[in-house]
Amino acid sequence: MDMTLTQLACFLAVARTGHFTKAAREVHLAQPSLSRQILALEKSLGASLFHRARGNIALTAAGEVLLPLATRMLADEELAYREIAELTGLRRGRVRLGAPPSLCVSLVADLLERYLAAYPGIALNVNESGSRALVDALTGGLVDMALIVSNEDRGEDALEVTPLLREDLVVVSSAAVDPLTVRGALTLDELARSPLVMFHRGYDLRAATDAAFRQAGLTPRVAVEGAEMEGVLRFVERGLGVAVVPSLVAAHRPGLRPVRLKAPELSRTISLARRADVQPTHAARAMQDMLTVVVDDMVAGGAHGLTRL
């Protein structure tokens, strides 16, 4: 069977008008062309669709059966075009974004606020995990894109990774207690002698902090260990210890007092990653564009500790 939507449209036009010439005008075809479409459809189906009497066109039994089916098929075609138009016009769709917890409370929150204001019909799903887990989620097709910390090789050959910014890591203490130092910065040796609130060992920030102490030959004084981002921040606000966190996180917590690290300074590179073998949807591409704007605005606005890459 070789039935086309054009043939069905011609059939419906004849059924509605009861006249081949009027139907041809309705579908913008010459009358002989419309007749050929109907004949081809009848040949494909193996049945006549119209009784052709002079001045009288009526549906046959086969035509009566085809009429509701053709109506539904053409309605489905129109629905398909409308649904795709809504997707490409960003009135519908979905974006699955992965990000580390430290970015969810800063950059990602700003990004989602702007994105939903611009595209309220797009559904958003956020996978909040460490960078290693996010790389696995990307390669497994569980997220469309992810913000990752890409200071080290994570097996990202199958991914397209675009560096966005370098973010300083700072030491935070409770704003309710005396400052850690009267100087503008703290040394790693001084940090090692302070009570530390440490993230659990799956965190990128924990790995970076441990590596810095190890390279300096220092053993940190750990007060609390194994916390998630929100727990670390709350513990520090209560004065249980100090912590090493990204500068953007510190900027959003008035209960924290940040101070720079020196000798050595610590930083991390934030990159956008997606699968190299999968083309982004219109909604995902719009989020990538929005992310660039948000990052540029943060840097241009003087956000502390950020460098655009």
Quickly list DSSP for 21-89.
HHHHHHTT--HHHHHHHHHHHHHHHTS--EEEETTEEEE-HHHHHHHHHHHHHHHHHHHHHHHHHHHHT
Residue type, 40: A
Walk me through the domains of the chain, giving residue ranges and CATH numbers.
5-88 (1.10.10.10), 94-159+272-304 (3.40.190.10), 167-267 (3.40.190.290)
Q: What is the pLDDT of residue 53?
A: 81
Q: Where residue 81 falls among pLDDT bands split at 50, 70, 90?
A: confident
CA distance 107 to 110: 5
Q: What is the pLDDT of residue 51?
A: 92
Of 121, 130, 173, 171, nearest to 148 by C-alpha is: 130
Mean pLDDT, the chain, integer: 90
End-to-end alpha carbon distance in the chain? 58
> CA-based angle 174:176:180, to the nearest 5?
55
pLDDT, tens only, 247-269: 998 887 899 999 999 878 899 99
Q: What is the pLDDT of residue 281?
A: 87
Q: Where residue 303 falls among pLDDT bands split at 50, 70, 90?
A: confident
User: Which single residue is written with the structure tokens 């921040």?
Assistant: 233
Q: Where residue 3 falls among pLDDT bands split at 50, 70, 90?
A: confident
pLDDT, tens only, 46-59: 999 999 887 788 99
The separation between CA 98 and the C-alpha centre of its own chain, rounded to angstroms, equals 7
CA distance 211 to 204: 11
Residues 6+ apart with CB under 8 A from 38: 7, 10, 11, 14, 20, 49, 50
pLDDT, tens only, 34-80: 999 999 999 999 999 999 887 788 999 999 999 999 988 988 887 78
Helix, strand, coil shares of the chain, percent, nearest 5, are 45, 25, 30
What's the predicted TM-score (pTM) here?
Answer: 0.73
Q: What is the pLDDT of residue 89?
A: 83
pLDDT, tens only, 109-164: 999 999 999 999 899 999 998 888 899 888 888 899 999 997 554 555 689 999 99
pLDDT, tens only, 227-242: 888 999 999 999 999 9
Contact 138, 255 (CB under 8 A): no
Percent of the chain at pLDDT > 90 equals: 63
* Burial (0-12, 13-18, 19+ Cβ within 10 Å), 110: middle
CA distance 91 to 121: 5
3-state secondary structure of 241: coil
Q: Which H helix or E strand runs over 226?
A: strand 221-227
Residue type, 158: A
